Amino acid sequence: MKMDAIPLSTLELICLGSSVVASGLFYYIYRKKMNTVDKLKGAQKLPLNTQIVSVLNAAPEKCLKYVAIEGIVQPVGVPLKSQYKDSCLGVIQRLTLKEHKLVWNNVVRSWTESESILHQHVYTVPFNLVSPNTFTSSESERAIRVLNPLEASSLHLEMIHEKFHQAMHGFTDIVGHYLSGEKPKGVLETEEMLKIGATLTGVGELIVDRDGILKLQPPTDGSEYFLSPSGLDSIVGEQKSRAIVWQVLAAFCGLAGAAVLLSVAWRCYKQMLHKRDREERRKEFEKMRLGGQVTEKIDLEEEEEEDSCKDMCIICLSERRSCVLLYCGHVCCCFSCYQALPSPICPICRCVIERVVPLYQA
């Protein structure tokens, strides 16, 4: 079957292409997430004790490519102080001003919630992960310096302060809101911090520098870097749940594309059956017409002249009537003219033609 004969509409073509692209993209993300899960499961979990130095020194190039370390957050130097709670100290601080407003949606004809960040600042100070146990004389050997914490995934900051400032509107402001299609509700002010003493699990590359300081940094091989208040098992479970979501989306888009293909295939199959049926009927009518020509040669000239006008096709007036239109039962045209009809409607009574059968004349 030729490509131009495939009954594929523009909408179906768009749906098929978008489903294939989306399914491929979602499957790529799913495989990437599953690779991260496999790496997390294979990550070496190291305790924060004096043996970690010997383990690192025994590794090639004094580097462990992917390890999981759990410890307590401790600042290196002066910590950050909360702007709203003097007793709250931390190593990462995020200050955010977020505007909340209502925006008129012309599609649903109603006001919808919208928010945008007006201002955000993130401050950090160097910090270590230390053993939760009581510090000993070898405390410095058990401290792991955390590098580039803002590049890590699953980093959760504790909410320290949250306050919503309600917007005040006058009459002219309200009129302007209806004209512009935007109604400011107010500004949300928040402060989040990674506090000193919080338990943190880091998953990344562990190295030792020239000064003998142990450092946890983003993996150089492109693996995902994690800093999470949860344990390693929780990180694995979270990443696996996200991978399943992408897998479901990929399967859904794939099934949508398969449904479009099955619909097109079924239409092509029905079209093929219809063409086959028309071809069989054409051959049958052709055979009948050739038989009629032989009979006409045997008939007398007088009989041919007498019946010629009566049996002629009312459309072409050159061929004999050779088919019966059902279910109205009219015999008015030849098979060639029936095939040439713009729509399957009887030329006599305008009824819909359900099927056509050959006319056998005795």
Locate the domains of the chain by residue range: 7-41+231-298, 65-229, 307-358
- 83-134 pLDDT, tens digit per residue, is 998 889 999 999 999 999 999 888 888 889 999 999 999 999 999 998 876 4
Identify the pLDDT of residue 251. Answer: 94
278 or 233: whose pLDDT is higher? Answer: 233
Length, in residues, of the chain: 362
- What is the torsional sign of CA 114, 116, 118, 119? positive
- Overall pTM surpassing 0.85 (yes/no): no
**pLDDT category of residue 300 using cuts at 50, 70 and 90:** very low
Identify the pLDDT of residue 139. Answer: 47
Amino acid at 285: F
326 or 293: whose pLDDT is higher? Answer: 326
Mean pLDDT for the stretch of residues 78-82: 93
Say how far apart CA 148 and CA 205 lie, in whole Å.
Answer: 12
Task: Tell me yes or no: is domain 307-358 CATH 3.40.50.150.
Answer: no
Identify the pLDDT of residue 138. Answer: 43
327 or 302: whose pLDDT is higher? Answer: 327
- For helices 10-41 and 232-298, the axis angle rounded to 10 degrees is 150
Identify the pLDDT of residue 291. Answer: 59
Say how far apart CA 292 and CA 325 lie, in whole Å.
Answer: 19
